[in-house]
């Protein structure tokens, strides 16, 4: 943070300094240019006056600091202080044309004879000839360079700005670093009060979340222990009876079947716990892909049709194609749990309807049954782990109590929402709402 503040403060100082430097040198350059034009103008007026009195001899008598050119009305050169030979016609030069038209002309351009960028000033004489003075631009640049000692001042200012920026950054950050997180109330800077309040709120929130997670962990451990203890006790009891030889031969097969069912129940429970743990830790590594919810629902209902037929429950699929992006294995598990629950908690002769729909911003899949329903006071908790509305009925039909919890966590993993509608003795409808691609 100190580096960021220092960098930002220093950059502001450098930017302001550079803008001031550009403005300063720009003003110096403009002023030097205007002063040079004025000097050329005054010298030209004196030369015109001398030329009118003494003729070309006057021009020869001058100490030529600037180049002087005398141009006839047709553009031919009558005199040039630097070139004694033939000089090209100057009638097309911009400053000469301006002087002929308006009495005087000036400009900066590259000289055709010397190839040097030059400042020109021309004025019209009484006999309609033009007298022109020029000075190389390098002379003007020299004038600007004379202020180069200011560069040393700028360097010094940069060093001072850097030092001050560093000190300011440290002073700004120091009160924040000095905050005692164990006792944030001991704050002597009123400006930090909003930050202290947010730290306290966050600390309180973290503490509450930790306590809540610890409570959930204890409940989860207790539930897992209870759920595992029941089938283990049954398996141990059956196995002990068989080991003691007190089970009649005709019932050995029955006892073996019971042990197998309880073992499968334990395996299912462990698998569901592993799935939830992976969802909690975002440990699912499967690739995301485009999945058609309608096709997924059709496959799920086909796999559950034998179970539904045994209870005389009709399975229906309605709606249209809806494509979402997700993990196929997890979506399949979520939809299977919803449909399996809809069959288990349905009434004989009832129905399960799966509806798929797609809108501009979302895709939905809902599973609706005509079963026993869920009382309103239990609807908020049915997605909790191991929560059962009717424990005796749930134990009778089987299940681990983790199916809806897997649905909830799977929906969160996909960024989807879960909606529940239920009424006792009329049925339940669970809807998953996915964001569109």
Query: Read out DSSP for 210-233?
Result: HHHHHHHHHHHHHHHHHHHHHHHH
pLDDT on residue 366: 95
Q: Is residue 260 situated within a structural domain? A: yes
51 closest CA partner among 110, 115, 126 = 126
Higher pLDDT, 432 or 178: 432
pLDDT over 70 at 413, yes or no: yes
Q: Is residue 163 situated within a structural domain? A: no
Residues 330 and 404 in one domain: yes
356 closest CA partner among 343, 366, 342, 346 = 366
71, 74, 96, 123, 342 from 92: Cα distances, Å? 11, 10, 7, 15, 99
410 closest CA partner among 388, 434, 387 = 434
Q: Looking at beta carbons, which pairs linking 189-195 to residues 24 or more positions away fall under 8 Å?
A: none
- CATH code of residue 201: 1.10.287.130
Specify the 3-state DSSP secondary structure of 114.
coil
Q: What is the CA radius of gyration of the chain?
A: 48
Give the pLDDT confidence of 142-189 residue by residue, as tens digits: 555 555 566 667 777 777 777 777 777 777 776 666 666 666 666 556
Tell me the average pLDDT across 69-84. Answer: 84
Q: Is residue 410 situated within a structural domain? A: yes
Q: Domain end: 221, 251, 283, which one?
A: 283
Residue 17 near residue 154 (C-beta atoms within 8 A): yes
Most confident of 13-17, 156-160, 277-281, 306-310: 306-310
pLDDT over 80 at 437, yes or no: no
Residues 206, 193: Cα–Cα separation, whole Å? 20
Q: Is residue 174 situated within a structural domain? A: no
pLDDT on residue 62: 77
Residues 312 and 357 in one domain: yes
pLDDT on residue 302: 92
Residues 296 and 212 in one domain: no
Give the pLDDT confidence of 231-254 residue by residue, as tens digits: 777 788 878 888 888 888 888 888
Instruction: Give 287's DSSP letter.
Output: P
Residues 300 and 424 in one domain: yes
Give the pLDDT confidence of 330-360 residue by residue, as tens digits: 898 899 889 988 998 898 899 999 999 998 8
Give the pLDDT confidence of 190-220 residue by residue, as tens digits: 666 777 777 777 877 888 878 777 776 676 6
pLDDT over 80 at 30, yes or no: no
Residues 275 and 296 in one domain: no
- CATH code of residue 302: 3.30.565.10
Residues 252 and 388 in one domain: no
Q: Which of 32-41, 175-184, 303-312 has the lowest mean pLDDT?
A: 175-184
pLDDT classification of 389: cutoffs 50, 70, 90: low
Q: Is residue 156 situated within a structural domain? A: no
Residues 271 and 315 in one domain: no
Residues 91, 26: Cα–Cα separation, whole Å? 33
pLDDT over 80 at 392, yes or no: no
Q: Is residue 62 situated within a structural domain? A: yes
DSSP per residue over 367-410, as a string? Answer: EEE-SS---GGGTTTTTSTT--SSHHHHHHH---S-HHHHHHHH
Residues 36, 246: Cα–Cα separation, whole Å? 126
Q: Which of 225-229, 245-249, 331-335, 377-381 has the lowest mean pLDDT?
A: 225-229
How many domains in the chain? 3
Q: Is residue 294 situated within a structural domain? A: yes
| Helices 2-54/137-145 angle, 10° precision | 140
Q: Which domain holds residue 198?
A: 179-283
pLDDT classification of 393: cutoffs 50, 70, 90: very low
pLDDT on residue 398: 54
pLDDT classification of 64: cutoffs 50, 70, 90: low
Q: Domain end: 283, 317, 346, which one?
A: 283
Residues 382 and 355 in one domain: yes
Helix ranges (H only) for 55-67 are 56-61
Residues 126 and 217 in one domain: no
pLDDT over 60 at 96, yes or no: yes
pLDDT on residue 355: 95
Residues 278 and 294 in one domain: no
Residues 293 and 279 in one domain: no
Q: Is residue 152 situated within a structural domain? A: no
Give the pLDDT confidence of 394-412 residue by residue, as tens digits: 455 555 667 788 888 889 8
Residues 100 and 136 in one domain: yes
- CATH code of residue 41: 3.30.450.20
HSE-up of residue 73 (Cα within 13 Å, Cβ side): 4
Residue 169 near residue 2 (C-beta atoms within 8 A): yes
Q: Domain end: 225, 258, 283, which one?
A: 283
pLDDT on residue 12: 72
Tell me the average pLDDT across 110-123. Answer: 81
> How many other C-beta atoms lie within 10 A of the C-beta of residue 15?
10
Residues 32, 139: Cα–Cα separation, whole Å? 10
């Amino acid at each position: 943070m100190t580096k960021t503040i220092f960098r930002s403060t220093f950059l502001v100082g450098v930017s302001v300094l550079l803008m001031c430097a550009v403005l300063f040198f720009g003003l110096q350059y403009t002023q030097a240019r205007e002063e040079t034009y004025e000097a050329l103008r005054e010298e030209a007026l004196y030369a015109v006056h001398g030329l009118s009195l003494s003729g070309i001899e006057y021009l020869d008598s001058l100490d030529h600091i600037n180049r002087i050119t005398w141009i006839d009305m047709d553009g031919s050169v009558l005199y040039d202080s630097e070139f004694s030979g033939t000089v090209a016609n100057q009638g097309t030069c911009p400053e000469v044309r301006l002087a002929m038209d308006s009495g005087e002309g000036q400009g900066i351009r590259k000289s055709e004879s010397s190839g040097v960028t030059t400042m020109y000033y021309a004025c019209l004489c009484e006999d309609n000839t033009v007298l022109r003075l020029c000075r190389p631009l390098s002379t003007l640049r020299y004038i600007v360079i004379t202020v180069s000692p200011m560069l040393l001042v700028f360097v010094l200012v940069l060093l001072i700005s850097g030092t001050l920026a560093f000190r300011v950054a440290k002073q700004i950050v120091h009160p924040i670093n000095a905050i005692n997180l164990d006792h944030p109330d001991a704050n002597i800077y009123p400006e930090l009060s909003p930050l202290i309040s947010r730290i306290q709120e966050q600390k309180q929130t973290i503490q509450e979340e930790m306590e809540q997670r610890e409570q959930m962990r204890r409940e989860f451990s207790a539930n897992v222990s209870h759920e595992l203890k029941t089938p283990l006790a049954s398996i141990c009891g059956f196995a002990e009876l068989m080991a003691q030889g007190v089970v009649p031969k005709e019932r050995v097969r029955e006892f073996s079947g019971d042990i197998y069912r309880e073992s499968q129940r334990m395996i299912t429970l462990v698998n569901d716990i592993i799935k939830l743990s992976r969802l909690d830790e975002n440990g699912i590594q499967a690739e995301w892909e485009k999945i058609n919810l309608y096709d997924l629902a059709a496959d799920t209902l086909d796999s559950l049709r034998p179970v539904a037929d045994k209870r005389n429950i009709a399975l229906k699929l309605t709606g249209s194609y809806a494509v979402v992006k997700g993990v196929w294995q997890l979506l399949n598990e979520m939809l299977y749990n919803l449909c399996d629950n809809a069959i288990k908690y349905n009434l004989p002769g009832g129905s399960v309807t799966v509806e798929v729909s797609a809108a501009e911003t979302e895709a939905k899949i809902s599973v609706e049954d005509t079963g026993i329903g869920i009382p309103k006071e239990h609807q908020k908790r049915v997605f909790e782990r191991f929560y059962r509305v009717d424990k005796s009925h749930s134990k009778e039909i089987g299940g681990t109590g983790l199916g809806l919890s897997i649905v909830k966590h799977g929906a969160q993993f996909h960024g989807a929402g879960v909606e529940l509608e239920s009424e006792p003795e009329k049925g339940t409808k669970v809807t998953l709402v996915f964001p569109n691609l």
